[in-house]
Amino acid sequence: MPDGIEIYFSASLAPGQRETVEQSIASAAERTRAEVDAARERAAEEDKLHDAITARLAKLIRADPGVAEAPEGVGVRPFKAKDRLRLRGPPGGGRDHVIPASPTDSSVEQRLPPYDFAWRWHHNGGAPPFSQSGDQRGRLGVDARAGGGVAGGASRFVHAHIGVGCIVRTDRPIAVELFAPRSSRHSFAIWARGIGASATSEGGLETTFMKGGQVLMAGTFPLWRRRVSGLSENESVRTGFTSVFPGGMGGRIDPGEYTFNVGIWAFADYASGIGSAGVQSLVESSIIEMRIHRRD
């Protein structure tokens, strides 16, 4: 398995099924890492002019002893993280009852916790999350922190994913529709102070349907994206648990075994510039059930 990936299996899965799961998670991670690398490269290209101006200002500031003393005290004390993982699931086990009506000519396969497997991974070019939790019960949480401006912040960017999945089998060609009702919440806090300082926070939900290492269907549902920069900027938001039911996926599949994965992700990145910056990105989600609608 590639570095940074962990998978936990149900004892009921056969060796061949475990290999199928490993292929699917490794492929999904590789695909997402490539997307993140491309996005960070685009952002770096866009920031070239900004960085050149910042470097010039930094040189001028450091050349003046009187002015140079001012940035030294900027952001020395990290801000306290605004939130933490609760790890208890939604209050009262809040369920989302908005389940699609099943066509009369279809069958519905309902999967309840514990699921067949649980997985987690982080971008191996960055740092692991500050904390994370998730197992086959489907209660997922990730707290990503970056920058010296937040307590526990990593010195590199953090891009972390965690989720659960199940094996889907069919012995004939069929049409499938896939749904995963969940209850989720998120919070973030971002802070940047100083010349050239910036902070970026993102997070959301995700789902994939795969055969081995091939992605057949996929969906990413961002919950937020925020970026601050400047001499002194900050923002924070916290939500409670709410029923979140992203639109399902569907298509025709051939006989075989497939993996249906659902999860969450969080991203935190920063630049200190002449000053300090910090980011906390937190997502929690309780995967209530996974449904596979089958139709000939």
**Residue owning tokens 């659960």:** 164
Query: Averaged over 142-152, what is the pLDDT?
Result: 94
Which of 185-194, 240-249, 273-282 shows the lowest mean pLDDT across its residues? 240-249
The string of pLDDT tens digits covering residues 94-110 is 333 333 334 444 688 89
| Average pLDDT in the chain | 83
DSSP 39-77: HHHHHHHHTHHHHHHHHHHHHHHHT-HHHHHHHHTTT-S
Look at residue 93 in the predicted model and tell me its pLDDT: 41
The string of pLDDT tens digits covering residues 186-237 is 999 999 988 778 899 999 999 999 998 899 999 889 999 999 987 678 888 9
Dihedral angle sign, alpha carbons of residues 9, 13, 14, 18 = negative
**Residue owning tokens 């100083």:** 194
* CA pair distance 115, 97, nearest whole angstrom: 20
Overall pTM > 0.95 = no
Residues in Cβ contact with 76 at an 8 Å cutoff, skipping those fewer than 6 apart: 276
Range of the domain at 33: 5-295
Tally of domains within the chain: 1
Half-sphere exposure of residue 36: CA atoms within 13 angstroms, side-chain side: 23
